[in-house]
Structure 1
Amino acid sequence: MPDYIIIIYLICIALIVICEVRKRRKKGAVIVTCLHILNYDLVYSFIWLVLSLGMFSLFLDDFFDYYSFFVPKYLNKWYYMFSYEYIVEIENQLLQNENKMWFELCKIAFYKSELQNLYISMLWITSFGMFFYRGIQKSEVCTNGIWLRMHMYKWERIKAYKWITDSNKQNQKGHIRSYKLVLYIMNGKIDKKLLNQDTNEKVIKVKSIDKDIVDRILEEKNIIMKS
């Protein structure tokens, strides 16, 4: 993997962060912060974490052996070992040598494969970070709509809603501590064709003390309540 791929990779991460900041600015003031719900993003993040750590361990197992091979004979700085371009340059120099150094060439070929494992683990650890960040986000009822897992659903996209009593969340006196709010979000043109349905259900969890506030906001926005 050439070094410029890493630069593109870092630029993509920066663009994702910038887009996230811009989306957050559009949500307006936060009126109600909802409770956290365990979601599949956290499951996905755990899978990506296991994969990335496994791939990184493959690289780390033989790293010190490769270090003694490259430094200082071929590289005068240890961090040059992470540059694919430097490794390829060493390989080309050995190939141009009249006395083919097959052991060294095989060593470099194996290290190039290990280096690619490192790059892949970097991509996977980024996926872990993205899914984990999404998974721990709390939904928010804002002035411009509902913020749900890094997406802003404006009021005009919410067609209807209904409340579900969260019977498992009761205190010792039997009082309900939270409610589940099911939102029926209108799909875009592409989602309508792919899913073959006009709306998609999203669920958030609201504290019992905030239920009336959220209910009033939804009524003010003329959103239909389903029974």
Structure 2
Amino acid sequence: MNTDDAVDLTADLIDSEARDTVTVSGADASTYLQSQIAQEIRDLAVGSARWTFVLDPTGKIDSFARIRRTADDVFVLDTDAGFGEGLVARINRFKIRVDADVELTPAASAAPSADHEAARIAAGWPRMGNEIEPGSTIPATTGVTNLAVNFTKGCYPGQELVERMDSRGADAPKSLRVVDVADGTAAGSPVVVDGDEVGTVTSVSGTIGLAYIKRGNDVGRAPAHLD
């Protein structure tokens, strides 16, 4: 799948009103961001966007965002509401003698609409704060590395863990799955099969949920973007 097309394919899952935006502009914006994120942006056309992880040096996810090029030296990243400040802090962390300004615009709404949330969960798309905890979640568990990581772009913080797991074909200790749940199930509930706890529910909409399922358990179904 073309990573630019992936943004269009996930449009119905994302409520634009519930996204913090971070604008990075300046003569060094492109080269600096290229060195910091998991996605390739040197060939990103003006007006196009891609999904990307922004990782900490150990390979844990700091942010999961879309990055759109709005001019040759202007990029707009958007992420789930409430996580823009963390993205700004991460972008600024290594910005030394770099000609690039970073500006945060908070989301208009703190939470996505019920329709967007239902579509997101049914598709198996991760959300910051639910399926992705900054500083602790590794990319391989989320099911979106094929859309958010470019494996040929070169060095960036956190690359070693991502590349090592990919090159070895290593299975993550858990994986995100779409599961059927009982009415009234809440995030944090255990997933139990034959008396054994095999996972944890992370998001719920009606009787459909997302859950992290332990390796070796065939529970639920793969996210739609992995089919």
> For the superposition of Structure 1 and Structure 2, which TM-score range results when normalised by the shorter chain?
under 0.3
Structure with the higher helix share, 1 or 2 = 1
**Higher RCO (CA < 8 A, seq sep 6+):** 1
Give the TM-score taking structure 2 as reference length: 0.22
The structure with the greater share of residues assigned to strand is 2
Give TM-score scaled by structure 1 length: 0.22
Larger radius of gyration: 1
